[in-house]
């Protein structure tokens, strides 16, 4: 029944997208920026652009991963109420390059409680840019690049402007966001603040899920914007705690401190020539335990209270020179480097002062140095050719003296204090065709990725030949990306597809329940597509749809590639009259029968198939001068469902949930915002 419903809905979406042939917003814009209810249409041939400060359905996101989940091709690995790992086309963790205003944040938790997006509040950024596939070399090699960006331009006149918003929802969810920017002569001061909290949510069967959280984030930014030079200094601090439904511990501390200094200079050579330099330091201090946020119950895995305190310090910097020697030629030359040190301390006793006084033990030290160059050549008004090449030098030192085989046994580390170095090469070449109504592209890219902390050292993972996975091979992706975008009198349409071969894909698998997961290299093939469209049959009615399909095969084992989201279709529309907007979204997800038992990545393993589901959400908004009021209902029919990319529920005292973590039941929410 569910599959039949999915098939009919896909046909309906294809008719909507193909037959309507969707439309141009402002013709003076070369790119389309659509902030989506269901997803987004590409803003450029290979790029998605969105405004994270604008409201979207479903309800406002509390972190970067939750926001990305609403975009076509993205999924979220649920662990509780916050801190989910975003995934694009089946790729997660360091296969996604997450850039935070030209900087980089790396989490500290060896169990991925705090992916980089857990420290990002979307409403505190001006723009989100996603480059599909390995189609840029300006940042670390990845299957996609996600950039959360802020504007640093000087206003035309002095003054203060900003916005404040508050959201309230079911299960005690409350979010408050403040964004204030004050301009003065040749400079500005910006303050960003957010606070969010929620109680445990319940699924549609009234099962309580261990998922409450409380978090705060504050950021200040000072900028000098002269005629030819811009200097920006910023500081961000965030704190929080979160309960998790998928493991034996909760996160009782998520402390981040981050400093950044940027200098942008316009060179007196020609228009659009510039030199950018940035330095950033990020410090993560994370604590997890099994007693602060839950009732401790002795078990076979833990007979007494336990706590862990991992930390990570990351320093990174970059220099990028942009030169435009001719109207049809632009080059970007750059250097970037990073160093991060990971430490940890743990105890089988409560996190008391004696434990806090224990020294932090170094377990990993990473160093990276990269050189990159991109050249854009415009043949004429329609054809353009984009090329890039990158070289990275990596160094990893294993500082672990022992490796934990289980809760009771540790063995000497065979790679203790050994240093591994690698030289990696990445690049791309992309051809684009663009007119006022059409864009099309075809790009071939290669991304060579160094194993991250969680693959090489985290959680005591072993290789197939050693209890240490330090020498896991680098992962090499060669991928063809193609796409087309069209604008019409009543709408717009976009379609993109990819086909890639991954040599030495880093696979994680559970081969013995009593031992750590094993890491090994396999060869894999991936392919898939995304479709998106918008149709405006009349001025005040917009109908939208998006479809995402991801597939992959484990060629070494002759199996499906694990951790691939099922096909997902989203249909939505909104109707405007006077100062009101009424909207609806229907999200339809196919059942997933393709899975590889106990295989996956560092963010999760496949365990069992899932059934398909459909979820309806409604919203309404009213604009009144500088105020905007929004109301919504998520999961209107109170559907009980579980995402395929969801962690398994853990046995927690006071909670009775088995299998995958279920999604929230019906949720009512309201939002009010004021712009000044």
Length of the chain: 676
d(CA 251, CA 21): 48
Model confidence at 408: pLDDT above 90: no
Look at residue 2 and give its three-state secondary structure.
helix
Q: How confident is the model at residue 193 (pLDDT cuts 50, 70, 90)?
A: very high
Q: How confident is the model at residue 369 (pLDDT cuts 50, 70, 90)?
A: very high
- Stretch among 34-43, 73-82, 663-672 having the lowest mean pLDDT: 34-43
Nearest-5° Cα angle at 319, 154 to 141: 110
d(CA 229, CA 111): 43
Res 351: pLDDT: 56
Res 268: pLDDT: 73
Res 327: pLDDT: 87
Q: Which residues touch 319 (CB under 8 Å, ≥6 apart)?
A: 275, 276, 277, 334, 335, 336
Higher pLDDT: 229 or 592? It is 592
Exposure of 586 in the CB half-sphere (CA atoms within 13 A) = 13
Res 58: pLDDT: 65
DSSP 291: S
Return the structure tokens found at 548.
């995402």
Higher pLDDT: 9 or 161? It is 161
The DSSP bridge partners found for residue 219 are 192, 236
- Among the listed residues 9, 2, 4, the one whose alpha carbon sits nearest the alpha carbon of residue 585: 9
Omega prior to 58 cis, within 30 of 0: yes
Q: Which residues touch 192 (CB under 8 Å, ≥6 apart)?
A: 121, 124, 178, 179, 180, 217, 218, 219, 220, 221
Return the structure tokens found at 489.
């009198």
- Stretch among 45-59, 359-373, 633-647 having the lowest mean pLDDT: 45-59
Q: How confident is the model at residue 158 (pLDDT cuts 50, 70, 90)?
A: confident
d(CA 364, CA 358): 18
- Stretch among 169-173, 371-375, 512-516, 542-546 having the lowest mean pLDDT: 512-516
Return the structure tokens found at 638.
């109170």
Res 165: pLDDT: 92
- Stretch among 93-97, 213-217, 365-369, 656-660 having the lowest mean pLDDT: 656-660
Most confident range (mean pLDDT) of 104-118, 206-220, 284-298 is 206-220
* Domains of the chain, each with CATH number or no CATH: 2-675 (2.40.170.20)
Res 7: pLDDT: 39
Res 306: pLDDT: 85
pLDDT tens sequence across 541-569: 999 999 999 999 999 999 999 999 999 99
Which secondary structure element, helix H or strand E, spans residue 264, and what is its range? Answer: strand 250-266
d(CA 133, CA 117): 19
- Stretch among 3-17, 172-186, 532-546 having the lowest mean pLDDT: 3-17
Res 250: pLDDT: 94
Please, are residues 128 and 149 in contact by the beta-carbon 8 Å criterion? yes
Q: How confident is the model at residue 216 (pLDDT cuts 50, 70, 90)?
A: very high
Please, are residues 661 and 78 in contact by the beta-carbon 8 Å criterion? yes
Q: How confident is the model at residue 350 (pLDDT cuts 50, 70, 90)?
A: low
Which secondary structure element, helix H or strand E, spans residue 453, and what is its range? Answer: helix 453-456
Share of the chain above pLDDT 90, in %: 70
Please, are residues 48 and 132 in contact by the beta-carbon 8 Å criterion? yes
The radius of gyration computed from the CA coordinates of the chain, to the nearest angstrom, equals: 24
Higher pLDDT: 408 or 280? It is 280
Q: Which residues touch 546 (CB under 8 Å, ≥6 apart)?
A: 13, 36, 38, 39, 40, 72, 530, 531, 532, 533, 569, 570
Beta pairing class for 144-149 and 96-100? parallel
pLDDT tens sequence across 278-304: 999 999 999 999 999 998 877 766 677
Beta pairing class for 419-434 and 491-509? unpaired
Model confidence at 257: pLDDT above 90: yes
What SS3 string covers 383-415? Answer: EEEEEEEEEEEEEEEECCCEEECCCCCEEECCC
Q: How confident is the model at residue 44 (pLDDT cuts 50, 70, 90)?
A: low
Res 529: pLDDT: 95
pLDDT tens sequence across 18-32: 333 333 333 333 333
Model confidence at 354: pLDDT above 70: no
Q: What is the mean pLDDT of residues 409-416?
A: 92
Res 51: pLDDT: 86
Which secondary structure element, helix H or strand E, spans residue 454, and what is its range? Answer: helix 453-456
Exposure of 35 in the CB half-sphere (CA atoms within 13 A) = 14
Res 38: pLDDT: 39
A 10 A CB-CB count for 301 gives: 11
Q: What is the mean pLDDT of residues 445-464?
A: 94
Return the structure tokens found at 279.
């330095």
- Stretch among 22-36, 211-225, 367-381 having the lowest mean pLDDT: 22-36
Q: How confident is the model at residue 57 (pLDDT cuts 50, 70, 90)?
A: low
Res 184: pLDDT: 87
Model confidence at 653: pLDDT above 50: yes
* DSSP assignment of 114-155: S-GGGG--GGG-SEEEEEESS---SSS--SEEEEEE---PPP
In sign, the C-alpha dihedral spanning 503, 505, 510, 512 is: positive
d(CA 53, CA 70): 14
d(CA 64, CA 41): 19
- Stretch among 77-91, 247-261, 347-361 having the lowest mean pLDDT: 347-361
Model confidence at 72: pLDDT above 90: no
E strands in 555-589: 559-560, 568-577, 580-589
- Among the listed residues 38, 59, 50, the one whose alpha carbon sits nearest the alpha carbon of residue 634: 59
Res 637: pLDDT: 97
Q: At 566, give phi and psi (nearest 5°).
A: -70, 170
Q: Compute the mean pLDDT over every residue in the chain, rounded to the nearest whole number.
A: 88
- Among the listed residues 511, 609, 523, 510, the one whose alpha carbon sits nearest the alpha carbon of residue 561: 523
Look at residue 310 and give its three-state secondary structure.
strand
Look at residue 58 and give its three-state secondary structure.
coil
Which secondary structure element, helix H or strand E, spans residue 428, and what is its range? Answer: strand 419-434
Return the structure tokens found at 201.
């949510």
Res 42: pLDDT: 54
Res 301: pLDDT: 64
- Among the listed residues 527, 594, 516, the one whose alpha carbon sits nearest the alpha carbon of residue 562: 594
Higher pLDDT: 244 or 55? It is 244
Res 263: pLDDT: 94
């Amino acid at each position: 029944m569910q599959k039949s419903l999915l098939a009919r809905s896909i046909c309906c979406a294809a008719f909507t997208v193909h037959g309507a042939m969707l439309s141009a917003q402002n013709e003076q814009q070369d790119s389309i920026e659509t902030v989506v209810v269901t997803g987004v249409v590409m803003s450029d041939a290979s790029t998605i652009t969105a405004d994270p400060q604008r409201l979207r359905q479903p309800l406002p996101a509390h972190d970067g991963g939750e926001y990305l989940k609403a975009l076509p091709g993205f999924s979220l690995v649920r662990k509780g109420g916050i801190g989910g790992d975003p995934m694009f086309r089946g790729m997660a963790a360091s296969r996604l390059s997450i850039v935070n205003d030209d900087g980089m944040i790396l989490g500290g938790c060896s169990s991925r409680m705090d992916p980089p997006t857990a420290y990002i509040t979307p409403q505190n950024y001006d723009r989100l840019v996603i480059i599909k596939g390995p189609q840029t070399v300006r940042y670390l090699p990845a299957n996609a690049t996600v950039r959360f960006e802020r504007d640093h331009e000087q206003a035309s006149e002095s003054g203060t402007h900003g916005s404040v918003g508050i959201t309230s929802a079911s299960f005690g969810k409350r979010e408050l966001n403040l964004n204030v920017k004050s301009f003065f002569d040749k400079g500005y001061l910006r303050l960003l603040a957010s606070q969010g909290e929620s109680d445990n949510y319940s699924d549609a069967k009234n099962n309580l899920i261990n998922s409450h959280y409380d978090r705060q984030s504050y950021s200040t930014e000072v900028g000098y914007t002269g005629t030819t030079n811009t200097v920006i200094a910023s500081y961000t601090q965030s704190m929080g705690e979160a309960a998790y439904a998928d493991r034996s511990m909760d996160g009782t501390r998520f402390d981040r401190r981050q400093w950044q200094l940027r200098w942008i200079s316009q060179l007196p050579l020609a228009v659009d020539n510039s030199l950018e330099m940035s330095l950033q330091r990020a410090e993560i201090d994370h604590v997890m335990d099994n007693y602060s946020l839950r009732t401790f119950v002795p078990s076979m895995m833990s007979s007494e209270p336990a706590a862990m305190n991992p930390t990570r310090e990351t320093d990174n910097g970059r220099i990028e020179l942009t030169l435009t020697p001719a109207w049809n030629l632009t080059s970007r030359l750059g250097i970037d480097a990073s160093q991060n040190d990971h430490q940890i301390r743990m105890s089988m006793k409560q996190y008391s002062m004696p434990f806090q006084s224990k020294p932090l033990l170094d377990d990993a030290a990473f160093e990276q140095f990269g050189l990159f160059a991109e050249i854009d050549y415009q043949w004429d008004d329609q054809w353009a050719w984009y090329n890039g090449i990158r070289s990275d030098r990596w160094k990893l030192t294993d500082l672990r003296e022992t490796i934990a085989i289980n809760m009771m046994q540790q063995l000497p580390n065979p790679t203790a204090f050994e240093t591994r170095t690698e030289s990696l090469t990445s690049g791309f070449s992309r051809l684009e065709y663009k007119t006022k109504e059409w864009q099309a592209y075809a790009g071939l890219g290669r991304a060579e990725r160094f194993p991250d902390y969680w693959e090489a050292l985290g959680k005591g993972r072993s290789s197939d030949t050693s209890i240490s996975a330090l020498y896991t091979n680098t992962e090499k992706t060669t991928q063809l990306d193609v796409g087309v975008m069209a604008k019409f009198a009543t709408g717009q349409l976009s379609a993109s597809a990819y086909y890639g071969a991954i040599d030495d894909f880093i696979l994680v698998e559970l081969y013995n329940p009593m031992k750590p997961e094993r890491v090994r290299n396999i060869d894999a093939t991936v392919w898939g597509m995304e479709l998106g469209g918008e149709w405006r049959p009349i001025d005040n009615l917009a109908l939208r749809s998006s479809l995402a399909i991801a597939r992959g095969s484990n060629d070494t084992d002759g199996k499906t590639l694990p951790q691939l989201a099922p096909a997902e279709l989203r249909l939505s529309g909104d109707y405007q009259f006077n100062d009101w907007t009424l909207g609806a979204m229907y999200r339809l997800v196919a059942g997933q029968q393709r899975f590889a038992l106990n295989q996956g990545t560092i963010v999760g393993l496949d365990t069992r198939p899932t059934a398909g589901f459909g979820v309806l959400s409604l919203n309404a908004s009213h604009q009144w001068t500088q105020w905007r009021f929004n109301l919504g209902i998520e999961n209107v029919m109170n559907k009980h469902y579980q995402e395929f990319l969801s962690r398994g529920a853990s046995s927690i005292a006071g909670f009775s949930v088995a299998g995958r973590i279920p999604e929230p039941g019906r949720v009512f929410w309201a939002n009010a915002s004021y712009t000044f």
